[in-house]
Amino acid sequence: MTDFSGWNILGEVLLLVGSAVALGVALESIKISAIIGYLLAGVLLGPSVLGLVGNDARLEVVAELGVSLLLFSIGLELTPSRLRGFGFRGAFVGVIQVVLTILAGTSVAFLLGLAWREAAILGCMVALSSTAVVARLLTERGELESPRGRETLAVLLAQDGLLVPVLILVGFLGNGGDKSASVPDIARQLASTTVDILIMVASIAVVGIFLIPRILNNSILRKNRDFAIVIAIITCLAAAWGSHSLGLSPALGSFVAGVLLARVSFSRQIRADTGALRAVFLTLFFASVGMLANVREIVQPEVLKLLLAILFIGLFLKIIIAWFAIRITGGHRRIAIGAAICLAQFGEFSFVIGSEALRSEIISPAMFQAAIGASLISLFATPLLVAKAKPIATSIDQLLVRLHLWKSSLPPELPPDSELFGHVIIVGYGPAGAEVARSTVLAGLTPMVIDINPRLVEQAASDGFRSEFGDGAQHEILEHIGAPRAAALVVTLPEPQTAMATITQFRSLNRDAIIVARGRYERWVTDLETAGADFVISEESIAGTMLGATLVSRLTGDTTAAADLKAAPKSLDSDDVDVRS
């Protein structure tokens, strides 16, 4: 009989991901983050509740790959321009918050009777927040660019950057933190770990800085975008494998690879192209995290008391420390309170840290379940905390003013946004796109050119126009170039399917902007209008009009009509041009 046991893992993955998506959709319908649904699906389907999905070692490997890809994408987000946008202060706030939270959490846990290694792991698990959950919630509420949102995002980005030293610390505690080890043994272990990390970073740096950009800029690879995507995924997985081979966390290698690749011009397009794959692994990761929670063990009185202690002490410490870090660096007190509440939860990487600590036998299974349970509850509460952050911060501020503990002070308005506003996005920088860009500047407007061809992006930049490499048909790319704030979109692409996809994505982000599209063939004009274009310039109609005018002028000697028609294609308002609206 054929053995199908090897396919069981596929069935479990399908059941887990399918249930996670179903619960995610259900919770999204009541304004709760889908990520909470993914976690809940793992809890319900896991061994401790329904037992429909077991703790298969192969499933853990798939989930670890999901973590690696997730960290790779987060690393790609940390572009030099984005880090400069938040400046030194944002990084400093994040460093203060993480370091003080680890120290405070470790100290409190140690004073309550835990071993120092166990206490340090708890401090690390509490210190990091959930970038995936909080950033998404703030975006959905339209608060990402608010003062509170910007403070929160700055700390989250700093935390993502500090994940590397935190994972290093966890690895050191697991490999060299034995209480019986002497000081020389600890020093040797620390030196060995440092050397391994330097080897890993140096290897990835050589590949990411010197080799990958040259490969991606190869003229052959430019012709097929699939090559760039595959090379990026290979880089991510190779970095994860190399890091694991050195005895380090695979996620650490993927994160470093993402950070280094963030400096190449293809990084945003790579992130956009791998978005669908990342979404699948992200769903699987959070669902597998939910499976780690053993409900039967968590409800035991001793574990439950420990869970509640970790939850409430951790939340209190984190809110106080985050508020303190923002305040001492010049943040307004009310904004600091709101941002601290948004950062209160224990993020998804607490599960990664806890799992590493459990495998290294730094923490006991009971402590692991208590910490995982506290993290899950804090994540479940995050949508409510983010939604109520502003009114809670206002109430606390007003109460302290009435108690005369500080004077009344309104938070400052957000400084004027330096990003593009009211600009014209031009998709495609061929001859038509170049002419549109020049006409836009002559009209006193700001053009923003986007093209998938690196050579044309460089040409646009050399012509003095702001330009970006990317596929205009992708939602993330359009968001990055300010589609929601644009005044108009001009699509010069000759390929109708790509043009329609671009128009549809843009219209989902901006319902009010004018969209002008190039219709290479008459039969596609109606489809382009249906996709959302306000004006479609039909090349066949214009060519026919110009051919007829040229013929008439040559046969009759009347050059007036031909001269008028030659100017017509440059004017979208010309009655002589076939403009469909």
Among candidate residues 81, 37, 33, the one with its CA nearest the CA of residue 419: 81
Residue 253 has pLDDT above 70, yes or no: yes
The answer to whether 482 touches 417, Cβ cutoff 8 Å, is no
Q: Is the dihedral of CA 231, 232, 237, 239 positive or negative?
A: positive
Spatial separation of the C-alpha atoms in residues 267 and 78, rounded to whole Å = 10
Residue 568 has pLDDT above 70, yes or no: no
255-300 per-position pLDDT tens digit = 778 877 777 666 666 766 666 677 777 787 778 777 877 788 888 8
Residue 329 has pLDDT above 70, yes or no: yes
The answer to whether 332 touches 411, Cβ cutoff 8 Å, is yes
The gap from C-alpha 293 to its chain's centroid, in whole angstroms, comes to 26
Which among 243-257, 332-346, 559-573 has the top mean pLDDT?
332-346
Spatial separation of the C-alpha atoms in residues 365 and 346, rounded to whole Å = 19
Superfamily of domain 424-580: NAD(P)-binding Rossmann-like Domain (3.40.50.720)
pLDDT of residue 208: 67
Among candidate residues 72, 48, 50, 27, the one with its CA nearest the CA of residue 281: 72
**In sequence order, what are the residues at sequence separation of 6 or more whose Cβ sits closer than 8 angstroms to the Cβ of residue 498?**
473
Spatial separation of the C-alpha atoms in residues 128 and 98, rounded to whole Å = 7
Question: What's the rounded mean pLDDT across residues 378-382?
Answer: 84
Rg (CA), the chain: 28
Picking from 205-214, 331-340, 570-579, which range would have the lowest pLDDT averaged per residue?
Answer: 570-579
Residue 192 has pLDDT above 60, yes or no: yes
Spatial separation of the C-alpha atoms in residues 452 and 266, rounded to whole Å = 10
* pLDDT level of residue 490 (50, 70, 90 thresholds): very high
Residue 68 has pLDDT above 60, yes or no: yes
Three-class secondary structure of residue 61 per DSSP: helix
Three-class secondary structure of residue 249 per DSSP: coil
pLDDT of residue 144: 66
Supply the angle between the helices 147-176 and 116-127 in degrees, to the nearest 10.
Answer: 150
Picking from 106-120, 226-240, 254-268, 515-529, which range would have the lowest pLDDT averaged per residue?
Answer: 254-268
Residue 24 has pLDDT above 80, yes or no: yes
Q: Is the pTM of this model over 0.75?
A: no
Spatial separation of the C-alpha atoms in residues 301 and 313, rounded to whole Å = 18
Residue 230 has pLDDT above 60, yes or no: yes
Question: What's the rounded mean pLDDT across residues 384-408?
Answer: 79
Residue 142 has pLDDT above 80, yes or no: no
- Paired sense of beta strands 579-580 and 535-538, if any: antiparallel
- Give me the amino acid identity at 213: P
Residues β-bridged to residue 579: 537
Question: What's the rounded mean pLDDT across residues 243-265?
Answer: 74
pLDDT of residue 455: 80
Element (H, E) at 535: strand 535-538
Q: Across the chain, what does the average pLDDT equal?
A: 77
Residue % of the chain over a pLDDT of 90: 2
7-399 belongs to which CATH class?
mainly alpha
- Domain assignments of the chain as residue spans, ordered by start: 7-399, 424-580
Q: Tell me how many degrees the CA angle 75-369-300 measures, rounded to the nearest 5.
A: 160
Question: What's the rounded mean pLDDT across residues 99-124?
Answer: 87
pLDDT of residue 489: 92
First CA to last CA distance, the chain: 65
150-175 per-position pLDDT tens digit = 788 788 877 876 777 777 777 777 65
Among candidate residues 153, 130, 91, the one with its CA nearest the CA of residue 335: 153
The phi, psi pair for 491, rounded to 5°, reads -105, 110
Q: Which two tokens mark 293? A: 């929670």
Residues β-bridged to residue 449: 426, 467
Residue 404 has pLDDT above 80, yes or no: no
The phi, psi pair for 489, rounded to 5°, reads -125, 130
The answer to whether 73 touches 143, Cβ cutoff 8 Å, is no
Give 126 or 60, the one with higher predicted confidence.
126
Picking from 45-54, 175-184, 227-236, which range would have the lowest pLDDT averaged per residue?
Answer: 175-184
- For 182, other C-beta atoms within 10 Å of its C-beta total 9
Residue 381 has pLDDT above 60, yes or no: yes
Spatial separation of the C-alpha atoms in residues 134 and 347, rounded to whole Å = 9
Spatial separation of the C-alpha atoms in residues 350 and 355, rounded to whole Å = 8
Residue 321 has pLDDT above 80, yes or no: yes
Picking from 58-62, 98-102, 477-481, which range would have the lowest pLDDT averaged per residue?
Answer: 58-62
Q: Which residue has the tokens 């998404």?
A: 136
Residue 414 has pLDDT above 50, yes or no: no
Residue % of the chain over a pLDDT of 70: 76
- For 276, other C-beta atoms within 10 Å of its C-beta total 8
Q: Is the dihedral of CA 192, 195, 201, 202 positive or negative?
A: negative
Q: Which two tokens mark 534? A: 């306000």
Q: How far is CA 337 from CA 92, 134, 236, 343, 394, in A?
A: 18, 15, 37, 10, 9
Question: What's the rounded mean pLDDT across residues 381-410?
Answer: 78
Spatial separation of the C-alpha atoms in residues 263 and 191, rounded to whole Å = 29
pLDDT of residue 577: 37
Picking from 17-31, 110-124, 165-179, 423-437, which range would have the lowest pLDDT averaged per residue?
Answer: 165-179
Q: Which two tokens mark 104? A: 């405070």
In 362-497, where do the E strands start and end?
A: 424-427, 447-451, 466-469, 488-491
